[in-house]
Amino acid sequence: MITDTQFAELSLVLKGRVTRSKSDLDLHGRSETWFANAPPDAVAYPHTTAEVSAVIKICHAQAIPVIGWGTGTSLEGQTLAINGGLCVDFSQMNAILRVHDTDMDVTVQPGVTREQLNTDLRATGLMFPVDPGANASLGGMAMTRASGTTAVRYGTMRDNVIGLQVVLADGTIIHTGSRARKSSSGYDLTALFVGSEGTLGLVTELTLRLHGQPETINAAVCAFDDIDSAVNAVMATIQMGIPMARIEFLDSKSVEAVNAYADTTYPLVPHLFVEFHGSEAGVADQVAMFGEIVQDFGASGFDWAEKLEDRNALWTLRHNAFYACLALKKGCISVVTDICVPISKLAEAVNETADDIAKSFIDGPILGHVGDGNFHSVLLVEPDNAIELAEAKRLAHRMALRALKLGGTVTGEHGIGLGKKDFMTREHGAEAWATMSALKAALDPKNIMNPGKLVP
């Protein structure tokens, strides 16, 4: 519990930008998924790295837990204050600091969202491609090593964060990486912090790799008779080396949800949503090659979207698929889980997961970024229904074990947080997980940085 004296000290540093109002605490204690609410004791709104450092020094001296907050879209309970403490909300640190268009990189504060950045970059001919669907903050995306619909071509946050400014657990400010395209200088601290889920420090600046806006973009939706045909079409497309910008899978239940949510009329069979980037000639070649491949797998009902407004409508459907799935069961909550497997094992993983869910008494639409072997299930349960929640956790547990059996990972992009800690030993081995814990102890000996998440 943060005492009145501690609150007053924090308030002085932040010029009053710290609150204990119930509405703020409730907002910052919620999860997007099934986890119980866990509000912090107070919420801070810093404006500068110096303020973050001063706040962390107070928390370090008095062993106050610290939880970083971007937009609150994490799915494994990463932002829940399970031990109370101070939530540091970065929404007011949302400045785009420096754009180096000739070098194709940008430096931003952590509260900048991906949509905000891309709107600002329009006139430069550049873009930041990582797209997890939600309009997440770039700091939060880095902390969970987010990816999304475009990762198959442009990579994940791991591939697109080239430098960071970080406030460590004692308030020390460090810089990692550089704006150079490569380096062999020392430990890769940038990679260490990307994906650390706020357990090692708070990021206050990010330098990101940018990409050129493509000359031509073409997108489409196509239908398949069954899951096998759709997933095998994805595998063949990737193995042929076609540089897909996006290749997304929705099973028939997901399509049913999208139809109901957005008033569309797609047939209730598995679908692929795809997009191609490049020159006019290059995109035409990609489209032709893709069409030949998927026709061999029985694809039908091609719906092309060449105009910007049509593409935006198409991807809005995909991005809203999570909320569409929730709407299938009025008032429900969800256990949303993701796994990632080698592309050659994708059909096996998706089919076995679909079979598991079909035999269950709860619904679980399947969708995902299958171009890189990553897919999700949105397991729908009634609030306070312990039997349904236990069944959803059982299905999610089987998905995770299946991923490991097939040489994959228990999470391709959601992260570990609270929900998947139990699998860390299975995936990494006891020694490797203990090594992560040793790194945590070295950088945060008082265990104040997002305690209870990711590491033992």
Asked if domains 216-322 and 325-417 share a fold, the reply is yes
Please state which CATH number belongs to domain 216-322: 3.30.70.2190
Give the pLDDT confidence score for residue 1 in this predicted structure: 86
pTM of the full structure: 0.94
Nearest in space to 207 (alpha carbons), one of 242, 240, 166, 171: 166
Give the pLDDT confidence score for residue 456 in this predicted structure: 86
Please state which CATH number belongs to domain 96-212: 3.30.465.10
Q: Where are the domains of the chain?
A: 4-89, 96-212, 216-322, 325-417
Give the pLDDT confidence score for residue 303 in this predicted structure: 84
Architecture of domain 4-89: 2-Layer Sandwich (3.30)
Nearest in space to 46 (alpha carbons), one of 195, 158, 204: 204
Q: In 10 A of CB 442, how many CB atoms?
A: 9
Give the pLDDT confidence score for residue 315 in this predicted structure: 87
Cβ atoms of 218 and 273 within 8 Å: the answer is no
The fold for domain 325-417 equals Alpha-Beta Plaits (3.30.70)
- Each residue's pLDDT, cut to its tens digit, for the chain (456 residues) gives 899 999 999 999 999 999 999 999 999 999 989 999 999 999 999 999 999 999 999 999 999 999 999 999 999 999 999 999 999 999 999 999 999 999 999 999 999 999 999 999 999 999 999 999 889 999 999 999 999 999 999 999 999 999 999 999 999 999 999 999 999 999 999 999 999 999 999 999 999 999 999 999 999 999 999 999 999 999 999 999 999 999 999 999 999 999 999 999 999 999 999 999 999 999 999 999 999 999 999 999 888 888 889 888 888 888 899 999 999 999 999 999 999 999 999 999 999 999 999 999 999 999 999 999 999 999 999 999 999 999 999 999 999 999 999 999 999 999 999 999 999 999 999 999 999 999 999 999 999 999 999 998
